[in-house]
Structure 1
Amino acid sequence: MENVARLLKESWALVEERGERLAGHFYARLFLLDPELRKLFPVQMSGQRDRLLEAIVTAAQTVDDPETFDEYLRALGRDHRKYHVSADHYGTLGVALLDGLRTVAGDRWSLEYDQAWREAYASISARMLAGAEADVNPPFWHAEVLTHERLGPDTAVLTVRALQDPLPWQAGQYVSVEVPRHLPQTWRTYSVANAPNEENVLEFHVRTPAGGAGWVSGALVRRTRPGDLLRLAAPMGSMTLDPDSTRDILCVAGGVGLAPVKALVEELTRVNRTRWVHVFYGARRPDELYALPGLEELVTTYPWLSVTPSVSDDPDFAGEHGDLAEVVARYGPWTTHDCYVSGSAAMVRATLRALAADDVPPDHIRYDTFGTL
């Protein structure tokens, strides 16, 4: 397996900078091999291409970590049930993937690389199929929008109720969301912003990027109303509480990255008695700290909770100033804490570097990044 992992990483380096070309060739080949598969994908494919490449990179990077590799791929197989992917489709996907890799790598591709990807894909597809076959839940849940609150021009908080069997998520996880009325077959992941509850109600914090990009987010912020129906796919993600840990907790949240942190704090209000919990909540401007009042209210009720707000672009703000990672570093050390980080890719990378410099053990850190789709 170590040799396969080395070959996968070497060969991925040949194509990594040409991801758009790889995705384009893969889908062209896939739909040529089986034109019926085109019906399973949205009309606009750019977001789907990003997810394909993310899955390939993750598989290549975790193939030498069997436990993580297995868990990720089984969850991916469960998630792909929402696309109505069947066992027969996996063989076609493998042929198209290898053809795309060979074509984009060109003369630098080798028989060794080819065999490594064949072996890896056989393992990938077996685990994904096993995850899909073992899942007793529906491929997706229909959900009704209960409330929708606009917070400025680009942000909304909405709650939805799953209408079928209970949706079994954990605090800190995310689900894929489809807005079938406006964007059928287009899915986007969002963290659930509340802990599980008997009412089967989920809360989402959604921000649509400037300039109108992000079709699903735009539809959820600007065009969704109470009473609308959404679809929610199986929960994924490992930014969850460690039930066996007694360490104190650091949570770092930027913008709508607060969503999973809010869910974790809500879960802790039910079970925590001994752990100090420190939440750092950052944004560019004070008006973007949309959930600060609710967090401050929790602080008055739970003495183990502290919240430190910070902004980077307003020197008159009464709280902390600077990039969020820098603020967190000033309050360290965090070496003995469980650390949860959620926000933009840039913020998460900066915070992970700060925690590494603080000698926080990697297995004490869990994180999620929020892209711009």
Structure 2
Amino acid sequence: MSHLSAVLKESWHLVEDRQDRVAAYFYARLFLANPQLRDLFPVQMDVQRGRLLGAIVATIQNLDDPARFDGYLRALGRDHRKYHVTPEHYAHVKTALLDALRAHAGDRWTSVYEQAWGDVYDLTARTMIAGAEEDDGPPYWHAEVLDHERRRADVAVFTCRPLRPLRYRAGQYVSIECPHQPRLWRPYSVANAPRPDDTLEFHVRSTGGGWVSSALVRRLKVGEVIRLAAPMGSMILDPASRRDIVFVSGGTGLAPVKAMLDELTRYNRTRWIHLFRGERGHDDFYDSEELDLLAEAHPWLTVVRSVSAEPDYPGERGAVTDVMSRYGPWRDHDFYVAGPRAMVNATLTRLTEMRVPGTRIRYDALTSD
């Protein structure tokens, strides 16, 4: 698909500097022609517009990797069941998307671009529909909040139990909708491996304008019922690997790392594990005591913390990527990276410079708000 991918990138470049207007035009066109679809979307559409653009970019980036492209879209199709999307809706979206691209590319839009976007969209729709149809689970799970603890002013850790079991792998994430922000779904990583009692733990940090994160941190109460969508994500432990592991995390990127550590405690005996955790200041390490107990109980685990904005910190100082680099060499290790997008991107760049094979790197840069 390399030629098709090149055509998509070339045509996207025509509108990339106006992508916010492309998204606004798309939704205006979609709702004007199909007003019944408006109820499928949240009242606040600002973040939703950004998610549309993110999906377009992800499609373009994954097109040259057929297996990843197929897996991503099938998972996305299953995930969209929570919106009650039907196969008929895809045709409406295609019309609105092509109209938006055509309108903002202007005279530079060609029949070649039109055909390429149409073909890719048709493939995308078929794959997503197939993913939805092959899923025999519910469109979402209702889950009761069992406990809720504020670890910092802007961080909460809470546990919930779905009313029916939700099957997932350690390292995956689910989208959450809470009663305080109906129809707004945001992705959060599960912070534990599957348990016999089916409970799931989540770590949430509220962001400045985050509708859902703020509600989950400040308003969610024990006894309330939230909704969880189907699990997604491929940052899971490689069952065939026997290599030692390096985890690099920042912020609530600790959540999927804790889930994978939880899984490793159940069977690991031979692999050495290093966890590098970076924050701006020492007060940001909201889960230190539990991690220290975990390292004390399992000698194969080493936890290294670093801060980037506290000159008097007695431990490691500097960006977590730099600290991790000083502890190498790591060329024979598996890497898992999770946290803020800037930290993840910096770590991926550094690992490339260190010539760590890309097949040994898995990452997660969820940005929930």
Deviation at 1:287, TM superposition (A): 1.0
State the match for 1:275 in structure 2.
271
C-alpha distance in 2 between matches for 1:205 and 1:81: 25
Q: Does the CA-based 8 Å contact 2:253-2:339 persist in structure 1?
A: yes
State the match for 2:162 in structure 1.
162
State the match for 2:73 in structure 1.
73
Q: Deviations over 1:273-306 (max 9, x none)?
A: 2111100011111111011111111111111111
Q: Does 1:177 find its partner at 2:176?
A: yes
C-alpha distance in 2 between matches for 1:235 and 1:17: 33
The partner residue of 2:308 within 297, 309, 312 is 312
Instruction: Name the amino acid aligned to 1:51.
Output: R
Q: Does 1:58 find its partner at 2:54?
A: no
C-alpha distance in 1 between matches for 2:368 and 2:195: 29
C-alpha distance in 1 between matches for 2:44 and 2:17: 22
Instruction: Name the amino acid aligned to 1:198.
Output: P
Q: Give matches, 1:21-170, under 5 Å.
A: 21-164=21-164, 166-170=165-169
Q: Secondary structure at the match of 1:186?
A: coil
C-alpha distance in 2 between matches for 1:61 and 1:349: 15
C-alpha distance in 1 between matches for 2:296 and 2:53: 45
Instruction: Name the amino acid aligned to 2:203.
Output: H
Q: Secondary structure at the match of 2:312?
A: coil
State the match for 1:352 in structure 2.
348
Aligned residues: 369
Q: Deviations over 1:172-218 (max 9, x none)?
A: 00000001x21110000001101011211111100011x4x100000
Q: Does the CA-based 8 Å contact 2:188-2:368 persist in structure 1?
A: no
Deviation at 1:16, TM superposition (A): 2.0
State the match for 1:192 in structure 2.
190
State the match for 1:206 in structure 2.
204
C-alpha distance in 2 between matches for 1:137 and 1:178: 18
Q: Secondary structure at the match of 2:277?
A: strand
Q: Secondary structure at the match of 1:142?
A: strand
State the match for 1:266 in structure 2.
262
C-alpha distance in 2 between matches for 1:143 and 1:228: 8
C-alpha distance in 1 between matches for 2:348 and 2:64: 22
Deviation at 1:372, TM superposition (A): 5.3
State the match for 1:235 in structure 2.
231
Q: Secondary structure at the match of 1:370?
A: coil
State the match for 2:5 in structure 1.
5
C-alpha distance in 2 between matches for 1:192 and 1:101: 36
Q: Deviations over 1:10-55 (max 9, x none)?
A: 1112222222111101101111121100010010011211221111
Question: What is the aligned-residue identity percentage?
Answer: 58
C-alpha distance in 2 between matches for 1:136 and 1:271: 30
Q: Deviations over 1:81-128 (max 9, x none)?
A: 000000100111111111111112112211101100111001000000
C-alpha distance in 2 between matches for 1:200 and 1:103: 49
Instruction: Name the amino acid aligned to 1:19.
Output: Q
Q: Does the CA-based 8 Å contact 2:23-2:53 persist in structure 1?
A: yes
C-alpha distance in 2 between matches for 1:196 and 1:372: 22
State the match for 1:17 in structure 2.
17
C-alpha distance in 2 between matches for 1:234 and 1:123: 22
Instruction: Name the amino acid aligned to 1:263.
Output: A
C-alpha distance in 2 between matches for 1:17 and 1:267: 44
C-alpha distance in 2 between matches for 1:276 and 1:18: 48
Q: Does the CA-based 8 Å contact 2:78-2:135 persist in structure 1?
A: yes
Structure 1 residues 68-77 or 326-335, which shifts more?
326-335
Q: Deviations over 1:327-369 (max 9, x none)?
A: 1111122111110001111111111111111100111111111
State the match for 2:281 in structure 1.
285
Q: Could you list the runs of 5+ residues in structure 1 that have no partner in the other structure?
A: none
Q: CA RMSD in A?
A: 1.0
Structure 1 residues 16-25 or 239-248, which shifts more?
16-25
